Each structure stands twice: as C-alpha cells, then as structure tokens.
Amino acid sequence: MAVVPQPQHEKPSRVEEARAGFARYKADVKKRGKPFYPYAMFHDTVMSLIVVTVILGLAAIWKWTSYGPHHDGTHQGLLGPEYTAPADPGTTSFVPRPDWYFYFLFYLLRIFKWPESVFLGTVGVPTIALILLLLLPFMDTRLERRPSHRPVAMVAMALTIVSMAVLTWKGATANEALASEVIANVPNWVKQEKLPPQALPGAKLFATAGCTACHTYLGTGSSNLGAPDLTAIGTRNLGITFQVNHLKCPSCVNPGSPMPKFASLGDTRLHQLAVFLEASKGPQH
C-alpha cells in the first residue's frame, strides 16, 4: 500500500509555536510597550548609582579598618588586610587562600580528597557544571516560562543555589592549621613516633613550612587535594634522595601531582625535611 502523506495542519510544531509566540511578543511590545528612555533607564540609573555607592563604601571600610598601628595596610580589619607580607618563595608557612568567589571550588577539592578522585574535584565537577550551564537552553526547550509551571527547573535552581552557598560557606570557615599551633605538636610527635634527635629540625620545618595545609600528620593538619597522610611515610623506605628530589619538584617524580615545588627551601632544609619524613614510621609503642 502506498503511504499517503497526511496533511499536518492540526497541531503546529514546537518551532512554529515558538516563532509565532515571538512574533506576538514583538507586536505586543510595539503596541503596548514603553520607550526604554526614560522609563527603564530610570531604574537602571538608580541601580547603577547604588552599585557604585556600595563599591565605594566597601573600599572605604577596607581602608579605614585595615590601617593598623604600624601605619600600613597589613592590619586584619573588617574586610582583610590591604596587603600581606611581600611574596617570599622561601618561606612557605603561608596557607594559600583564593578570593572568596573561588571558595566553592576550593571546598570541592576537600570533598574529593582521595588521590584517585582529586581529578573529579579539580576538573571533573566544574567542567560538567560549566557544560550543563552552557547547554541549558538546549536541554530545556519548552516554551513555558512561568516558574510555577517549571517545577524541575525551579528545584534545580534551588539545589544549585543551596549547594553553592554551602560550599562557599564551608570554604570560608574551613579550619586551616596555623603554623604556630602545629609547632606546639612537635614534642608530641617526637614522643609518639620516637623520632631521633637529628629528625627534630625537619619536624619543626614540617610544622612551619605549610606542609600541614594539605597533609596530615598524627591527626594534625587537613588533607587537601589528595595529599596523603604522612604519619608513617618512613615505612615506605623511599630514601633520602627520593624525598629531596620529590620536594624539589613533586610533579617531576610523580607526574600530575598538584603539590607545589619546595626547591626554594634550599638543600640543607630539604635534607632536614627528608630525614624527618624517613624517620616517621608511625606511632611506636
């Protein structure tokens, strides 16, 4: 039997409906709209003035609360210092912290802290989120725009806002170990791990050089970016040479490692660190 093409004018296709809707919108705006100037432009101007005022206010608060007793801008203030100490690749007792709008990414890294899954936190989840965001208009092609008729979109929006807010908040309040607190634990490490005296300088260096920003040692520090616990790193007998080379350039020894290079600490201090790491055989009884 021959297939007879059926006339298709009962129901317009989605594309036809969209085009007709947009033509109605254009005609409607032309007929009953208001000119941009002065109506919409008035609102825009008021809002812009508020924006500039808020920016000026933040600048002023930053200035007047961070101007410290030493007559410079390193005082903490309400909105943080105007600048911290000059960059010094040699001393790494500094906890790296991004600007606040990267906190959600920053905290995502702490969720995926197992070495095998770091990749998910650094690249996987953000890339997928970005692709979903870019493709949104092609995933949601319904013409309905009323929020009350778009339950899935509204739930997705609420979940996104809540998760971004939680991640930002957690990132902001993440408890970073302070060098001054970590160094207080060194005697305890010596006792528990029965560290030999020659490992002591390395232990102090380990506590102050920012290692505990990513690594943990006998429960001190916070694991970040997949950095392993170093309590018993010495049991792997990697050797002093390996430890020094790894500290100098982690990604050369261990490709893909996100750990910064510590070559700038100098050979003497790197050797001390290596001795400490090799002496760390876990709690001894």
Partner 1 sequence: MPYSRKPTRAEIRRERLQEAINFPLDWLEERSGLVGGIRYFLFRKVPADTNWMQTLGSAALTAFLVQAITGVILAMYYKPDPKDAYSSIQNITDHLTMGWMVRGMHKWGASVFIILMFLHMGRVFLFGAYKYPRELNWIIGVLILVMGMMEGFTGYLLPWDQTAYWASVVGINLNGTAPFLGPWLAQFLRSGQEIGADTLSRFYSLHMLLIPGGIISLIGLHLYLVIRLGVTSPPWSREAAGMVPADEEPVPLRPGLTRPVPRTIAAAQGDAGGSE
Cβ-based nearer residue to partner 1, 94 or 242: 94
How many residues touch partner 1 (CB under 8 A)?
91
Residues 243-262 that bind partner 1 (CB under 8 A): 251, 256, 258-261
For the segment 25-54, give every residue that binds partner 1 (CB under 8 A). 25-37, 39-41, 43-44, 46-48, 50-52, 54
As a whole number of angstroms, the distance between CA 70 and CA 40 comes to: 49
Least distance in angstroms from the C-beta of 121 to partner 1? 9
181: helix, strand or coil: helix
CB of 9 to partner 1, least distance (A): 19
Cα 127 from Cα 70, distance rounded (Å): 45
Give the nearer residue to partner 1 in terms of CB position, either 33 or 196.
Answer: 33
Q: Which is nearer to partner 1, 192 or 222 (CB)?
A: 222
Among 65, 122, 208, 222, binds partner 1 (CB under 8 A): 122
Q: Indicate the angle between helix axes 240-248 and 267-279, nearest 10 degrees.
A: 130
Rounded CA-CA distance 16/19 in Å is 5
Residue 216 to residue 223: CA distance in whole angstroms: 6
Letters for 135-174 (x = contact with partner 1 by CB under 8 A, - = none) are -xxx-xxxxxxxx--x--x---x---x-------------
Residues in contact with partner 1, shown as a per-residue x/- string from 189 to 218 under the rule CB under 8 A: ---------------------x--------
* Residues between 218 and 237 with contacts to partner 1, criterion CB under 8 A: 225
Stretches 98-106, 174-182, 190-198, 227-235: which one binds partner 1 (CB under 8 A)?
Answer: 98-106
Q: How many CA atoms lie within 13 A of 46 on its CB side?
A: 5
Cα–Cα distance measured from residue 70 to residue 67, given in angstroms and rounded to the nearest whole number: 8
Query: Alpha-carbon distance 20 to 23, whole Å?
Result: 5
Q: Does 68 bind partner 1 (CB under 8 A)?
A: no
- 274 close to 238: Cβ distance less than 8 angstroms: no
Which residue is it, tokens 């050089």? Answer: 209
| Residue 277 beta carbon to partner 1: minimum distance, rounded to whole angstroms | 20
Binding status of residue 242 toward partner 1 by CB under 8 A? no
What residues contact 58, with CB distance under 8 A and at least 6 apart? 79
Q: CB under 8 A: which stretch of 3-11, 82-90, 182-190, 273-281 binds partner 1?
A: 82-90
Selected from 78, 90, 102, 184, the binder of partner 1 by CB under 8 A is 102
User: What's the rounded Cα separation, in Å, for the pair 127 and 105?
Assistant: 11
Nearer to partner 1, 165 or 184 (CB): 165
Residue from 119, 125, 170, 223 in contact with partner 1 (CB under 8 A): 119
CB 225, CB 260: distance < 8 Å: no
CB of 24 to partner 1, least distance (A): 4
Please give the distance of CA 221 from its chain centroid, rounded to a whole number.
18
Question: Does 111 help bind partner 1 (rule: CB under 8 A)?
Answer: no
Given CA atoms 270, 228, 253, 121 in this order, what sign does their dihedral have?
negative
